[in-house]
Chains A and B, each alone.
Chain A
Amino acid sequence: MTAALRKLPRPDDRVLAALAIAAGIALPFLFGSGSPFIHDAILALSYMMMALGLNVIVGFAGLLDLGYVAFFAIGAYTMGWLGSNFFSGAGGGEGFHLLVGSPAAEMPGIHVNFLIVIVVAVIFTTIAGILIGLPTLRLRGDYIAIVTLAFGEIIGRIAINGDQIKIGPIWDATLGRLPLLPELGAEATLTRGKQGITPVDKIDLPLLDPFTSLDLRAWYLIALALVLVVLFVNLRLRDSRLGRAWVALREDEVAASSMGIPLVKTKLLAYGTGAAFGGVSGALLGSYLNTVSADQFQFSFSIFILAMVILGGLGSIWGVVVGAILLSFVNTWLIPDVLNGVPGQLGLDFDLTQLSYAIFGFLLVIVMVLRPEGVIPERLG
Chain B
Amino acid sequence: MLAGPRVSTAALIAFLLVMPVSFGIHDLATDGSLSHLGNNLVAGLSNGAIWALVALGYTLVYGIIELINFAHGDVFMIGSFVAFALFGTLGLGLATAVPLLIGGLLLTLAISAIASGALNTMIERAGYRPLRDAPRLAPLITAVGFSFILQNVGLLWLGGSQQGVPDLISSQHELFELAGVSVTNGDALAILTTAPLVLALTFFISRTRTGKAMRATAQDPDAARLMGINVDSTISLTFLIGGLLAGAAGLIYALYQTTIWFNQGFTAGLIAFTAAVMGGIGNLRGAVLGGLLIGCIQQISDNRIGAEWTPAIVFGYLVLIMVVRPRGLLGEETRQAG
Contact = CB atoms under 8 A, between A and B. Distances in A.
Q: Do A and B bind each other?
A: yes
Interface of A: 58, 64, 135-143, 145-147, 149-151, 153-154, 157-158, 160-161, 254, 257, 263-264, 299, 303, 306-307, 310-311, 314, 354-358, 360-365, 368-369, 372-374
Interface residues of B, number: 53
B311 A364 contact: no
Interface stretch (B85-93, B114-122, B174-182, B269-277): B269-277
Given A146-B273, A361-B149, A373-B134, A368 B141 contact: yes
Nearest to B338: A140
B312 A141 contact: no
Given A354-B156, A357-B151, A368 B138 contact: yes
Contact of B309 (A149, A157, A264, A369): A157
A153 B312 contact: yes
Contacts of B131: 368-369, 372
5 contacts: A137-B4, A263-B1, A307-B144, A361-B145, A365-B149
Interface in B116-145: 126-127, 130-131, 133-135, 137-142, 144-145
Contacts, number: 152
B12 to A, nearest CB: 15
B152 A358 contact: yes
Contacts of A147: 318-319, 322
Contacts of B336: 140-142
B153 interface: yes
A153 B269 CA distance: 14
Given A140-B326, A264-B2, A365-B145, A146 B130 contact: no
A145 B137 CA distance: 12
Contacts of B137: 58, 64, 310, 314
Contact of A161 (B142, B309, B322, B323): B309
B147 interface: yes
Contact of A137 (B2, B148, B156, B315): B2
B138 A135 contact: no
A135 B323 contact: yes
A54 to B, nearest CB: 12
Contact of B2 (A154, A263, A361, A368): A263
A255 to B, nearest CB: 12
A150 B319 contact: yes
Contacts of A160: 308
B315 A365 contact: no
Interface in B285-330: 308-309, 311-312, 315-316, 318-319, 322-323, 326-328
Main SS of the interface on chain A? helix
A158 B313 CA distance: 11
A299 B266 CA distance: 10
Contact of B1 (A64, A136, A257): A257
Contacts of A374: 135
B283 to A, nearest CB: 13
Residue from A143, A264, A354 having most chain B Cβ neighbours under 10 A: A143
Given A138-B326, A358-B149, A364-B148, 4 more contacts: A141-B66, A153-B311, A306-B140, A354-B156
Contacts of A314: 135, 137
A174 B156 CA distance: 54
B145 A143 contact: no
B185 to A, nearest CB: 32
B102 interface: no
B158 interface: no
B277 A146 contact: yes
Contacts of A58: 137
B182 to A, nearest CB: 31
Given A314-B135, A364-B148, A373-B135, A143 B277 contact: yes
B68 interface: yes
Contacts of A64: 137
Sorted nearest first, the 4 A-B pairs with minimum C-beta distance are: A361-B148, A372-B134, A364-B145, A358-B152
A355 B311 contact: no
A343 to B, nearest CB: 15
Given A368-B141, A368-B142, A146 B156 contact: no
A140 B152 CA distance: 34
A361 B145 CA distance: 4
Nearest to B133: A372
Nearest to B144: A303
A154 B328 CA distance: 19
A358 B153 contact: yes
Given A153-B311, A365-B146, A142 B66 contact: yes
A357 B133 CA distance: 28
B337 interface: yes
Contact of A362 (B145, B151, B273, B315): B145
A140 B337 contact: yes
B109 interface: no
Interface in B138-174: 138-142, 144-149, 151-153, 155-156
A145 B68 contact: yes
Contacts of A153: 270, 311-312, 315
Contacts of B139: 368
B78 to A, nearest CB: 14
B273 to A, nearest CB: 7
Contact of A135 (B144, B281, B319): B319
B334 interface: yes
Nearest to A363: B145
Interface centre among B66, B70, B142 (most CB of A within 10 A): B142
Contacts of A146: 273-274, 277, 318, 322
A271 to B, nearest CB: 15
